[in-house]
Structure 1
Amino acid sequence: MPPSVSGIDPQAKGESGNSRSVVSRQTAPHEDLIAQVGKHARHRWAKPIADYNREAFAQADQWIAGRAQPLILDSGCGTGDSSRLLAARYPAHLVIGVDRSADRLSRQRADTPENCLLVRADLVDFWRLAREAGWRPEQHYLLYPNPEPKPKHLKRRFHAHPVFPDLVALGGQFESRSNWRIYLEELAQAFAYHGRTAEIFPVPDDEPPLTLFERKYRSSGQPLWCLRTTEGSAEEST
């Protein structure tokens, strides 16, 4: 089963201020994580790519063709609020938000900046196509993916999925956020296996929320965590 991304995290179904915390029997990174990461690193994933994902990627690839601006990729963008925010924060960049839900993306608003494109596609195919096309986003966001907290569902998490080497190969500064720190600790270990370092720190309380989930979790008083690789990032416009 492919991993789940932001927009469908079952832990966020409560109303604002009443979101449930992640509950899991797992109290530390999964003991089978590195074995999974190593197996996928040795064997390139060759599952056929769906035609509709090829079409979606072609649309995005054509949109950035011939443009000199650096790219920011917002994976699992949900309704696109985070993509719009990032596009406004970095007006000199191109921002592409990707989500597999037609319903969430149908809620696009008229205020989507000109430097922002929202695309419907499955990430597991989109990342592989982006790698094949030589995309090198300057920044890559994966905000509040479904943590799949049951230990038996380790393989559903992106860092234990066969697509993870393709995510790593895209390069750039990678940032993920979660209300379950163990998810990010596992992600950091998976990056370390591929020779990339990452730091984990609390999401600043005074920072405007990037997603609806972040707003809900914060209103519920949950601790929020951010993982960021140590490569350089885009400069914000002041």
Structure 2
Amino acid sequence: MYANSRPVSSAQPGPHPRLAEMVQRHLRHPYRRPVSTDAQARFDQLAQQLRGDPRPLVLDAGCGTGASSLILARRHAQALVVGVDKSAARLATGQRLLARAGAPQNVCLLRLDLVDFWLLAARAGWCFQHQYLLYPNPWPKPEHVQRRWAAHPVLPALLACGGALELRSNWEIYAREWGEALQLAGRRWHIDCFDETADAAALSPFEAKYRDSGHRLWRVRAEAAAR
């Protein structure tokens, strides 16, 4: 069935008690994980494709089928939206969506692990106008906290890629952790529980399903940092 998503359940009553410790450690010691030659080749191919394109870049992190990338492309019509996902099957669906009549043409889909992408983009000096994190990604078990973006070692690379940041989720704790991580990194941020009927349409299929399942939806936004 469609609108049958269960709310996120976790043993955590609030943000992880070690979140600040982990974020501060990651900020002091940038992630040095090597990337594969295949990942480097895929990134280099995209970099070559974008070379000389004057349009600002918008990142759709974990774009899945690319449905959200198309929505963002219409929202940011003067930019080029880069949708990144590691699933070839989901991106194949996205390519079919892009091939339909009337689909926006300012979209580029890339198959790559997001951690590799942020590491490579930061090393290459890329700067996005906006970064959207719309995939749920809560990993609700306390022992999995470092799999959430707020506590992940890739956080400094993500932040180095710049731009205004927007995360959306149906789990308040995940949203609050993201806000706390931004604050520890010196970024000003705002969190709100928003009503799509009065505010804005869903940006991703996940978000639409959560909304239609009666979940509260949380949004954390941070303006671009001064450079």
Same fold per superposition (TM over 0.5): yes
Equivalent of 1:66, from 40, 52, 55?
Answer: 52
Which of 184, 193, 216 in structure 2 is aligned with 1:223?
A: 216
**Of 145, 153, 159, which aligns to 1:168?**
159
Tell whether the 8 Å contact from 2:61 to 2:135 is kept in structure 1 after alignment. Answer: no
Query: How far off is 1:204 after superposition?
Result: 3.0
Say if 2:140 is the partner of 1:149.
Answer: yes
- The residue type paired with residue 130 of structure 1 is A
2:120 to 125, 129, 146: 129
1:202-221 aligned at under 5 Å gives the runs 202-206=193-197, 207-221=200-214
Gaps of 5+ in 2: none
Q: Aligned partners of 2:48 and 2:107: how far apart in 1?
A: 14
- Whole-angstrom CA distance in 1 between matches of 2:219 and 2:45: 31
For residues 41-60 of structure 1, the aligned pairs below 5 Å read 41-60=27-46
Contact 2:63 2:135 in 1 (8 A): no
CA-to-partner distance for each residue in 1:61-83, whole Å, 9 max, x for gaps?
12221111111011100000010
Distance 1:101 1:72 in 2: 20
Q: Which amino acid aligns with 1:118?
A: L
Counterpart-to-counterpart distance in 2, 1:141 and 1:212: 14
SS at match of 1:221: coil
* SS in structure 1 at match of 2:43: helix
**Structure 1, unaligned runs of 5 or more:** 1-14, 233-238
Q: Aligned-pair distance for 1:203? A: 3.0
Render the CA deviation track for 1:103-153: whole Å, top value 9, x for unaligned. 111112213522100100001110011111111100000103320011111
Letter in 1 for 2:77: P
Aligned twin of 2:10: 24
Deviates more, 1:197-206 or 1:137-146: 197-206
Instruction: Decide whether the 8 Å contact of 1:148 with 1:156 is kept in 2.
Output: yes
How far apart in 2 are the matches of 1:203 and 1:23? 21
**SS of equivalent residue, structure 2 residue 93:** coil
Matching residue within 149, 154, 164 for 1:158: 149
TM-score where L is the length of structure 1: 0.88
**Contact between 2:5 and 2:209, CA under 8 Å: does it hold in 1?**
yes
Letter in 2 for 1:94: L
Given that 2:59 and 2:131 are in contact with CA atoms closer than 8 Å, whether structure 1 keeps it comes out as: yes
Counterpart residue number, 2:61: 75
C-alpha RMSD over aligned residues: 1.3
User: 2:224 & 2:110 partners in 1: Cα distance?
Assistant: 26
Displacement of 1:205:
1.8
Is the contact made by 1:76 and 1:97 (CA closer than 8 Å) also made in structure 2? yes
Structure 2 letter corresponding to 1:89: R
Which one scores higher on RCO, CA 8 angstroms, separation ≥ 6? 1
2: distance between equivalents of 1:91 and 1:51?
A: 33
Aligned partner of residue 106 in structure 1, secondary structure: helix
Q: Which residue of 2 aligns with 1:119?
A: 110
**Is the 8 Å Cα contact of residues 76 and 145 (structure 1) preserved in structure 2?**
no
Q: Which residue of 1 aligns with 2:23?
A: 37
User: 1-side partners of 2:223 and 2:129: how far apart?
Assistant: 12
**Secondary structure, aligned partner of 2:84:** strand
| Structure 1 runs of 4+ with >6 Å offset | none
Q: Deviation of residue 53 (structure 1)?
A: 1.4
